[in-house]
Each structure stands twice: as structure tokens, then as C-alpha cells.
Amino acid sequence: MSARPVYVAGVGIHPFGRFEDKDVTALGQAAVRDALSEAGVGRGGFQAAFCGTVYTGVAAGHKVLGGLGLSGVPIVNVEAGCASGGAALGLGAAAIASGQRDCVLVFGMEKMPRGIIRSSFFPPWCEEAGFSPAPAYFAMRARRLMLESGVTREDLARVSVKNHAHGVHNPYAMYRKPFTMEMVLGAQMVCDPLTLFMLCSPNEGAAAVVLSARPGPVAPAVQVRAAVLRSHVPGSALGEHTPMSGLVADEPPGPTETAAREAYELAGVAPSDLDVVELQDTDSGREILSIEELGLCPRGGGGQFVADGAGEMTGRLPVNPSGGLLSKGEPLGASALGQVVELVWQLRGVAGKRQVDGARVALGHTVGRGANASVVVLTR
Amino acid sequence: MAQVPIHPGLFTPPGDPRGARLLAGRCPACGKHHFPAAGTCPYCTAEGCEPVALGAAGTLYLYTVVNARPPGYRGDVPYGFGIVELPEGLRVVSRIAETDLDVLQVGLPVKLEIAPLFTNDAGDEVLSFAYRPDETVR
């Protein structure tokens, strides 16, 4: 992405939550309107659109833009599981960087069913046999952290307490109440060691970003320095591709690690350069695993990172100041772009009580079904 | 009442002289095993992988207990769920026929069983696989 700089010219978000009175198209349109308005871009002002969504079905992005009188440009609908928005952002950024487009619209939206995510990923016999529940896989990854990274049940609870404390200040989050250690540890056990309040809720929402070869009207200008998507390499029985087997030896790096390496190289930054991070916290253990895989601490150092409070607002690297998915909920197609919107506000210095002072380098991360992982680096 | 496997090719049929075994693919080129068996090796892309019966005994690597019924699941809840390490160098994701978290632990010896999970609409017993703590190993 060295050819031309890629600027974020405008951002928009529809709150994440439950909205019985709106369909998914209306959610997407709200975010798109706000992003285009902030960028000062209307019909004819962008040359392509990329829409991340998983559950919406045929022509999802076309319905959003068609209803706003904005169709005519190429509209590409992108499914990459939890990383769908990151995948869409990567396509948009590449179109700008290469010189193919001068301005593009990237958006994502979702309206998820309640409860455990049901996915067409698993054939019916896998569901019948009990292989489908995502929290069971999350729980085993969390247990591995307990075995290999010194993570305790209290550490898992602490992540949830931290993110919910952040979410109190986020008007776009679904849950805006503080949680105590006792509440999180004492909540219903879903899959040991994960309780209900250590798991995020699938929900509804939308986010949108206008990318441009030139800075937008809002200063300071924020640049996309990397937007990388990677899939899994087989070998790990615990990989996000949820295989039925893996190897005892030679466990390969996961897609988060490979995407992060590439993103750091493209952006010319190291983990120590980061000021603020929004990362995948589908469950408390996932946040700690993401911290390790992104290189924010040494492998095996996740428990210490949490115990040190390193990811708190007062810590050395605030993690999920938005409240993360634990507070916001996870609308798959929108979650990665929701992170980008938060990070743009952080870099502009307008995040209010969530603001990380002086943030200049930011990283966003999502990972999930596919497997897919996306890592985004933004700077001002 | 007839017995049918939940999916073809996963494990040996009842009465098989090899006993209750999972059927993995073994790559003729790199020698690695994968499960379920496929023709193409996921590790080196070689073709011509042959199904082989895996050993019945393994050790528990990771585990949890699923307390709420997942959508589509036809067995009883709660149920154990885990990853079992086998001598062939394979880790297999499986139901675990034990839900007591005081019993489940890393390194626990386990043994494969193939047993009815539910009765389908045709009245057949549907067989699936699980690993159970092996009381004979101390």
C-alpha cells in the first residue's frame, strides 16, 4: 500500500444493539449517510462501494445504496466472517492506493439472531453431533491460556469488567452498565471457564467509512496505513477455522499473527509504537489471546498483561476503549468498521471520556469464522 | 431398530473386527494424518490419501462442558466437549462422555466409544463418537 496514501475522509456509525423497528438496510443507510455527509461526498463523489455482511443475503449493499439513490457504481458484497468489515476495508484501501479509484465507500451492517450464533458453516450432521457451539471453542482457547499463559479465572473476569467500564462512556454500545468481578464470576456458566458475562452478544448495527486519496474536511487527517486480511494455515485443532482435527506438533501461526506481521511491515510500525488498540474480544479469553497474537506482549505473557492492568485506560496500551464487543455486541459485518470509527475518533482526539490522550498510532483487529483475520493500522 | 452412522466415513461400523475406531486420512507423501478422511492432504496437497483406523486410546488435551443446548444438537445436555491427543500425532475434536469438571483434566486417559446419540425420524438409532475416561488406565 505504498503507492498512494489512503485517507479516512468520513466515518459514520449506527449504534450496536437491538432495533426491532428497523431492518438491516435501514441500519446500513444510517451509517452510510453519516459517513458521506462528514466526508462531503454525494452521488458521483465515490467510484466504488464495498459492503461487509454475513447474514444479510443477496445484494445486501445494493439495497442500502439503491434506497439512497447511490447505485450505479460497482458494489461488492464481502463475507469474511467476523472480519468482513476488515476485508471490505482492505479492498477499498487497495483501490485507492493503486490509483484505480479516488474515493470509495466502505460499510458493513448486520442483524443477528439472538443467542448462540447459528451458521451455515456447519453441515447439519455437525450441529446434530454437538460440534457447532462457538462458546465451546472459545472455552478451550481460554483453558489453554490458563495452562500456558498464567491466566486465571479472575483475569478472565477482569477483562470483562474493564471493557464494560469503558462501554459506560460509549453511546454506541449495547451494554452501558459497569460490571463487578462478583457479577462476572458469579454469572451463569456457559462453557467452563467462561460465564455468560465473559461472552459478547451477537446483535445489530452498522458502520461506514469513506476512503479517499485526499484528506477529508475533518482535521487532523487520519490515514489507513495497512488493512490486511489473512486466512488460516491448517494444523491447529483450536484454529478459528474450527476443524475436527489438527496436529500435535508444528502448530502454525494463526491468521491473526500472519495478518499482524504483514500489517506492521506495511505500516512501518512495531507493536511498541501503538497508542490505542481495538481488538477481537468475542469472549474474555479471546481478548487475551488477541493481545498475545498481535504481539502486544510476549507469547505466554497474557496473564501478566491483564494483571498489570496494561490494557486499562491508565495502562501502557489501552485496549478496547470503546468497550469492545463485550459492551457493544457483535454485528459481524459491522464490527471491524465499528472499530475503525472508534479509532478514527481516538486519533482525531474527539472520543470524550474514552479518549486515549495524544493517540497517534492505532490498530484494529477482528478474527473468526473462515478462518479470517483482519488487522488495520491507522495513523494521524 | 437399525443403527446408522451420523455421517459416513467417520468411524468403523458396529461389529468391525478392528473395534470402535475413528477413520483418518493418511497422506502417502508427508505421512501426516487428518480427520475426517479426505482424498487431498490438507498439509501438503498430495492426492491419494488412504483411510486408516486410528488407535482407540488417547489423552485429553483441552476440554469444557456445554451446558445449554446448541441449535440443532440432538443429544443430551450438558455434554462434555474436548480435544484428544492420539499417538498418531493427531488432535481430534470430540464430544467427551463425561461432564464432571472434577474428573476432566489435561492428560486424562480416554478411550473412543461409538454409541447411539439420538433416534432419527425414521426410527433409526444414530451413532456418533465420543471419548470416555478410561478407568482401566491408572
Nearest to A6 by CA among A95, A133, A74: A95
The residue of chain B nearest to residue A233, with distances taken between CA atoms, is B43
Residue A101 lies in a domain: yes
- Check residue A1 and give its pLDDT: 44
CB of A58 within 8 Å of a chain B CB? The answer is no
Q: How far apart are the first and last CA of chain B?
A: 37
List the 76-115 stretch of B: residues with Cβ below 8 A of A.
79, 81-83, 85, 89-93, 95, 101, 106
Tell me the C-alpha distance between A31 and A35, whole Å: 6
CB of B44 within 8 Å of a chain A CB? The answer is no
Q: What is the pLDDT of residues A142-154, one digit of tens each?
A: 999 999 999 999 9
Min distance B138 CA to chain A CA atoms (Å): 23
Q: What is the pLDDT of residues A333-380, one digit of tens each?
A: 999 999 999 999 999 999 999 999 999 999 999 999 999 999 999 999
Q: What is the pLDDT of residues A16-63, one digit of tens each?
A: 999 999 999 999 999 999 999 999 999 999 999 999 999 999 999 999
Alpha helix (H) residue ranges in A226-331: 255-267, 284-293, 302-307, 324-328
Residue A44 lies in a domain: yes
Is the Cβ–Cβ distance between A209 and A11 less than 8 Å? yes
Question: How far is residue A297 from each of residues A3, A146, A276, measured CA to CA in Å?
Answer: 32, 16, 14
Q: What is the pLDDT of residues A62-116, one digit of tens each?
A: 999 999 999 999 999 999 999 999 999 999 999 999 999 999 999 999 998 776 6
Is the Cβ–Cβ distance between A268 and A129 less than 8 Å? no
The residue of chain B nearest to residue A126, with distances taken between CA atoms, is B73
**Confidence band for A2, pLDDT divided at 50, 70 and 90:** low
Q: What is the pLDDT of residues B113-134, one digit of tens each?
A: 999 999 999 999 999 999 999 9
Is the Cβ–Cβ distance between A290 and A365 less than 8 Å? yes
Residue B44 CA, distance from chain mean position: 24
Q: Is A82 a catalytic residue?
A: yes
CATH number at residue A44: 3.40.47.10
Nearest by CB to B93, which of A193, A245, A247?
A245
Is the Cβ–Cβ distance between A88 and A50 less than 8 Å? yes
Residue listed under C-alpha cell 445494493: A62
User: Taking CA B77 as the corner, what is the angle to CA A369 and CA A147, rounded to the nearest 5 degrees?
Assistant: 55
CB of A130 within 8 Å of a chain B CB? The answer is yes
Per DSSP bridges, beta strands B125-133 and B3-5 are parallel
The residue of chain A nearest to residue B89, with distances taken between CA atoms, is A248
CB contact under 8 A, A244 and B67: no
CB of B13 within 8 Å of a chain A CB? The answer is no
Is the Cβ–Cβ distance between A64 and A32 less than 8 Å? yes
Handedness of CA A252, A256, A261, A265 (dihedral sign): positive
Question: How far is residue B46 from each of residues A117, B30, B40, measured CA to CA in Å?
Answer: 35, 8, 6
How confident is the model over B27-56, as a mean pLDDT?
Answer: 97
**Confidence band for A14, pLDDT divided at 50, 70 and 90:** very high
Q: Which residues in chain A are closer than 8 Å to B66, comparing Cβ atoms? A: 130, 133, 135-136, 191
CB of A285 within 8 Å of a chain B CB? The answer is no
3-state secondary structure of B50: strand
Nearest by CB to A133, which of B63, B70, B74?
B70
Question: How far is residue A324 from each of residues A33, A85, A114, A145, measured CA to CA in Å?
Answer: 24, 15, 19, 20
Segment (H or E) for A335: helix A332-348
CB contact under 8 A, A129 and B73: yes
SS3 content of chain A, % helix, strand, coil (to 5): 35, 20, 40
Nearest to A55 by CA among A124, A133, A120: A120
Structural domain boundaries enclosing A13: 7-111
Tell me the C-alpha distance between B63 and A238, whole Å: 11
| Number of separate domains in chain A | 1
Residue A106 lies in a domain: yes
